[in-house]
Amino acid sequence: MQFMMVSRIDDESAIRYSRDLWEFLVAEGHSVLFEQETAAAMGVQGDPHPEHKSDLAVVVGGDGTILLSVQRMEKQIPILGINWGEVGFLADVEPGDAKAFLKSIRQGFAIEPRMRISLTRDGEVLGHALNEALIVTSRPAKMLRFTVVVDRVPADRFRSDGLLISTPTGSTAYAMSAGGPIVDPRIQGFLLVPLAPYMLSSRPHLISNDRTLEIRLESAKPATLVMDGQRSLQMGISGSLEVRKSSEPALFVDAKKNFFEKVDSKLRHL
């Protein structure tokens, strides 16, 4: 099999571990390609887009490394996340178990697709997000004004420090910290969570992805759009975002880890 390897580059122990894993995969008869930043950190040759030539990506890092990998892929391929971070909710395999898991993997392995959201403004696709898109004030201590439009009907208007547009996968990330519910990732929908809303009546919404969803920014203060904590765009003081289900989901190797067991072990027992 052809593997794509990505590693945290800010942690020497992660780089050493990735090198050891690379040597193990080669000894098992596999080929390994490296994304360019990982290659530079390891002193080997990299490839600008190894996903086009690989069967799956092995990502050594935390959720941030995995989210960045998904953002950078021109073509989504299955990811096996090896947890080298704090919580590592997107990483299903611990470092000590990775070799045994990789030794057992075969062509035709099971894949778990995860819905992403696509964000469009004035007909231009701004990007995609696996966890969430955040609209937040560009000036600290200033509030923004939003209108949420569902199926072309204004459904809510509120003022807040910002708004999280989350996927079910992202419900255990920033959205949960902001007071949103934990959502089964098999549910297909958009989770809207206002950040520090002015009115107590402004509550999170879970909206089916079958509906059209528009977020209107109607504020005198400038705002910034941040996708998965990796990409930022200036929105100015007004404008409209159309939120859709992305046609290309993120793909994860199914490591047979029950979602609710992960919630219990990774979140409730921190």
* Residues near 162 by beta carbon (within 8 Å), at least 6 away in sequence: 134, 135, 136, 137, 144, 194, 195, 196, 223
| pLDDT (average), residues 158-174 | 96
For domain 2-114+249-267, which architecture applies? 3-Layer(aba) Sandwich (3.40)
| pLDDT (average), residues 7-34 | 96
Fold of 117-245: Tumour Suppressor Smad4 (2.60.200)
Query: What was the pLDDT predicted at 220?
Result: 86
As annotated, the residues of the chain forming the CATH 2.60.200.30 domain(s) are: 117-245
pTM of the model: 0.93
Tens-digit pLDDT profile for residues 101-150: 999 998 889 999 999 999 999 999 999 999 999 999 988 878 999 999 99
Give catalytic status of residue 228 as yes or no: no
Cα–Cα dist 242/55, whole Å: 33
Task: Give 198-205 contacts, CB < 8 A, sequence gap 24+.
Answer: 198/143, 198/158, 198/159, 198/160, 199/158, 199/159, 202/156, 202/158, 202/160, 204/175, 204/179, 204/180, 205/148, 205/155, 205/156
As annotated, the residues of the chain forming the CATH 3.40.50.10330 domain(s) are: 2-114+249-267
87 pLDDT more than 80: no
Phi first, then psi, for residue 258 (nearest 5°) are -65, 135
Tens-digit pLDDT profile for residues 58-82: 999 999 999 999 999 999 999 999 9
* Residues near 79 by beta carbon (within 8 Å), at least 6 away in sequence: 56, 57, 59, 66, 69, 70, 250, 251, 252, 253
In whole numbers, what is the pLDDT of the chain averaged over residues? 94
Q: Which of 63, 92, 161, 228 is catalytic?
A: 63
Tens-digit pLDDT profile for residues 191-230: 999 999 998 888 999 999 999 999 999 988 899 999 999 9
Residue 237 identity (one-letter amino acid): I
Strand 56-61 with 111-114, pairing: unpaired
- At 5, is the pLDDT very low, low, confident or very high (cuts 50, 70, 90)? very high
